[in-house]
Structure 1
Amino acid sequence: MALTATGIGSGLDISNIVSVLVDAEKTPKETLFTATETKINAKVSAIGTLKSALSTFQDAAEKLQSGEFLNIRTVSTGNSDFFTATADQYSQPGSYSIMVEQLAQSQKLAGINVSDPTSGVGEGSLDFSVNGESFSVAISSTDKLSAIATKINNASDNSGVIATVIKSDAGSRLVFTSKETGTENQITLSATDSTGTGLSDMFNGANLESLQDAKDSIIYVDGQKLTSPGNTIDDAITGVTLSLTKADLGSTSTLTVAQDTDSVKKNIQSFVSSYNALLTSMDTLSSFDVDKGTASALQGDSIIRSLESQLRKTVSERVSVDGVESALYELGITTDSDGKLSIDDTKLSDAVSNNMSLVEGVFSTSDTGLAYQFDDLVESYTKSGGIIDSRNNTYTSQTSRLTDQREAFTLKMEQLEARLLKQFNAMDLIVSQLNTQSSSLTSSLASLPGVVRE
């Protein structure tokens, strides 16, 4: 390129002139690009905020799909040392007298002690049977006690035996413990020798010592005896799980199961609060500030209008509970003029305390309960490939097109700048040539005879 700075011929600041001309063409368009990009980014952010509010509301609605969070129980054991307890929605409020006579325990068998646990004890196999299931482990003559224990524990068909090497003053020995408690999980062990009698001498007959007998747990519920193979008992009282910790037939504890109305109300209040927070978020995202004359990112957006309409329709739906059409207002939950929910605490407390089946039915009736309906509605917006994903794909496409337009416009401006520089430099060259010719002509005229110089 020729001249790109101050014109030698014309004396003009060509670079500045070209810059001003290019900027006059470029600035309005770049301002438009920036405004469009800002608008798209604002919409992306607003959609993200909407999705977050929807997810929070969905979490609150999903809790009410299950009796686990609606028909909640409190459990008291009177600080008993003998057991702990939990109760699900199927348990019935009431008090129960509990006595623990015996805890369940696992059987422990041990082979004879040896002075050197690193020496082999024999060659053959150890055959185990637990609760009707058998497995065998091949033992080589070089296997030390720890190697035998590892083979047993790692056996793919191990039916419930844990092998451990225990060291004492008497020496080291293999101890076999049943993985499960109870008499039905007793261990049967026999040793078979391929050579010699090493395994039989260690593990057969009188050489196999019982360190701990297998026992079932024994409890009494309101005087009724129940024997169980484990210390966790979930079939003594419907909906109640007892975890036994100590036994003493001479001590009686009282288990009390009661309706947890406060927790149920808290979960329903959380649902109402999340619903109202969602409406507030939608209103903020689609509002118009009259004083400032500014609109929020989703003002007038169809996604807000459609969602608001569906939410208001769902909240007024009636659900069939035991053949009777019921709705939220029967639980003390009503809508105000803005579509938000409010709770009549007295009415809700009465429903939770005296008509829990109605509360469960309105929210958690399979498929038709309001908790399910709201969950399905929100899922249609937030799921992968859902309405919000589709909208984000639209914004991504718009951003991509804007980027392409920016790149094309930048190239166009570069070409304009190059063309203007070329034109101005060509003009400057012509002016320079004219100036040179003018100077030469002036000089020639001045040298003619008779020319008077001042």
Structure 2
Amino acid sequence: MTIQSLGVGSGLALDDLVTQLLNAERAPKEARLKDKEEKIQSEISALGQIKSKLSDFKDSVDKLRKDSDINGREPTITNPTEDKEVFTAEASGSALRGTYKVAITQLASGSRIETADAVYTSGTDKVLTDGAGDTTMTFKINGSTDETFTIDVKQNMTLAQLREAINKNENNFGVNANIIDTGTAAGAKLVFTSDVTGFGKDLVIVNDGDRGELEKLATTNSAESLTYLSPVKPAQDALATVDGILVRSDTNTFENTIQNVSFEATEESPFDTNGTTRLESTLEIGFDRKGLESKVRDFVDNYNKIIKDIKTLTRYGSSELEDDGALAGDSMLRGISSSLAGVVGSSVDKSTLGSLFGMGIELTSDGKLEIGDLDYGLGSGQDRLEKALEENFDDIAKLFTDEDQGIATRLYEITKEYTSYSGLLTLRERSAKDDKDQLQDERESFETRMFNYEQILRDRYLNLDQTVARLNQTGSALLASLGQY
């Protein structure tokens, strides 16, 4: 039914009346829907906020619930001179603690080959002019079948063009060609360097077509039975001494020379004043104190963020001027807070530290954790933390990782119970989102009812409008008739 304009016939303000009646009917119901929507949206937002903070906290306790994560190893290097960083080192969690004296006596390097003196005058000299057509040259590493590539050598190709063909070959495994113009009678020299390091791994350049002119550029013929150029610098291993024992590697990285430790040589150790003895660096493999301290502080910070948010979201306003939290009095959030506090305040029998307090982490009166500055006769929180990190690594591990009482172990299970796909917070979120979807259906149903109600009102007042219009017409006719007499 078409909504019609009312009051045209009667002259009455029926449209205004219908609007007022509709507003009177709509306002309270719409206000209830709006309040309900705001409450649901606030709940969804608050649950998402808590879930996010709880997930961050779960990640931080996850880094503390495994013994291998806490008992990580950290290499410390002391070099003989501050201006030289001779090597870097890494250690796995299973590396044994210890101190080693290390000296780098030789860096690994690849081979270097140069053309002979006075063979070429400049980069524009041609390398192949015999008229016998194009050929190829193959580059490879002695004793290797993996590292190899071949280039085309064309008639009248210049030294510079040959250089570019080598350097731009898509299969080049690390050969660099360059032209050195000596400015002397030696003329221009083509220099080949290889990135492949290790004793015996010299660059081999094969004159595939056994062309006479290319013997100036190759190390051997196609049968590899002849020798033309030889490396001016052969490939070599890296050499080092560890506690006086000579060790070697075909790269500058020494893997497991010290078990579960790797170190990479960056430069040779400096000589002592006698000019022959290398000065040793000290490599100490110890506990990763800084790494663990960072994990502990992240644990404290993330715990406090959760407690702060739970208090904000569940609080009741202290006056009419202060709004309640989005989840005021919510039992689930109070349960989370209570469960977390119960764990962080508990004792662990297998650790001599006893509890978090023993390593400097205190539970404050407002339910948060802190590494305090106050001294209770046992040292400040910071003092106890430093002492635990220095002397009680194993007991810190037990405090957090014990299978039955470990603080991180238990906290991880609690947070997982709430934040996993089927966790309590996730289910609560889904329920709130379902309520939001249902509210949308209610809105649509409400709008339909209001539309129908408007039709009813308009139909009702349309009849009134038409009746009054007819009465007005009758009255006008009567007055007109009476006026004739």
Change in 2 beyond 3 A, CA 1:353/1:137: closer
TM-score, structure 1 length as denominator? Answer: 0.80
Report the structure, 1 or 2, having the larger helix content.
1
- 176, 194, 213: which is aligned to 1:177? 194
> Where do 5+ consecutive residues of structure 1 fail to align?
156-160, 449-454
Q: State yes or no: 1:107 paired with 2:111.
A: yes
In the other structure, the counterpart of 1:403 is 440
> Where do 5+ consecutive residues of structure 2 fail to align?
182-186, 221-225, 273-277, 372-380
Decide which moves more: 80-89 or 400-409. Answer: 80-89
SS in 2 for 1:104: coil
Q: State yes or no: 1:255 paired with 2:282.
A: yes
Change in 2 beyond 3 A, CA 1:55/1:368: same
In the other structure, the counterpart of 1:230 is 251
SS in 2 for 1:183: coil
Q: Distance in 2 between matches of 1:13 and 1:196?
A: 111
Query: Given that residues 73 and 288 in structure 2 are in contact (C-alpha distance below 8 angstroms), is that contact kept between their aligned partners in structure 1?
Result: yes
Change in 2 beyond 3 A, CA 1:71/1:60: same
Q: State yes or no: 1:83 paired with 2:79.
A: no
- 304, 316, 322: which is aligned to 2:333? 304
Query: Given that residues 314 and 325 in structure 2 are in contact (C-alpha distance below 8 angstroms), is that contact kept between their aligned partners in structure 1?
Result: yes
Q: State yes or no: 1:429 paired with 2:466.
A: yes
Q: Distance in 2 between matches of 1:90 and 1:313?
A: 33
Per-residue deviation, 1:23:
0.3
- 140, 146, 157: which is aligned to 1:128? 140
Decide which moves more: 277-286 or 333-342. Answer: 333-342
RMSD of the TM alignment (CA)? 3.9
Q: State yes or no: 1:295 paired with 2:324.
A: yes
Question: 1:292-331, CA deviations, whole angstroms, 9 ceiling, x for partnerless residues?
Answer: 3853222343431443344245435666869x99654543
In the other structure, the counterpart of 2:223 is none
Letter in 2 for 1:182: G
Per-residue deviation, 1:277:
2.5
Decide which moves more: 211-220 or 94-103. Answer: 94-103
SS in 2 for 1:99: strand
Q: Distance in 1 between matches of 2:296 and 2:442?
A: 51
Report the structure, 1 or 2, having the larger strand content.
1
Per-residue deviation, 1:390:
3.1
In the other structure, the counterpart of 1:452 is none
SS in 1 for 2:328: coil
In the other structure, the counterpart of 2:298 is 270
Query: Given that residues 70 and 360 in structure 1 are in contact (C-alpha distance below 8 angstroms), is that contact kept between their aligned partners in structure 2?
Result: yes
Decide which moves more: 403-412 or 142-151. Answer: 142-151
Q: Distance in 2 between matches of 1:207 and 1:184?
A: 18
Change in 2 beyond 3 A, CA 1:2/1:108: closer
Change in 2 beyond 3 A, CA 1:106/1:314: farther
SS in 2 for 1:418: helix
What does 1:21-420 correspond to in 2, within 5 Å? Answer: 21-65=21-65, 71=72, 73=74, 74-77=76-79, 78-79=81-82, 81-86=84-89, 88=91, 96-109=100-113, 115-116=125-126, 122-124=134-136, 126=138, 128-129=140-141, 132-134=144-146, 137=149, 139-140=151-152, 142=154, 145=162, 146-151=164-169, 153-154=170-171, 161-169=173-181, 170-171=187-188, 173=190, 175=192, 177-179=194-196, 181-183=197-199, 185-193=201-209, 202-203=217-218, 204=220, 205-237=226-258, 241-247=262-268, 248-250=270-272, 251-255=278-282, 257=284, 261=289, 264-292=292-320, 294-315=323-344, 327-333=355-361, 335=363, 339-343=367-371, 344-364=381-401, 369-384=406-421, 386-420=423-457
Matched positions, count: 438
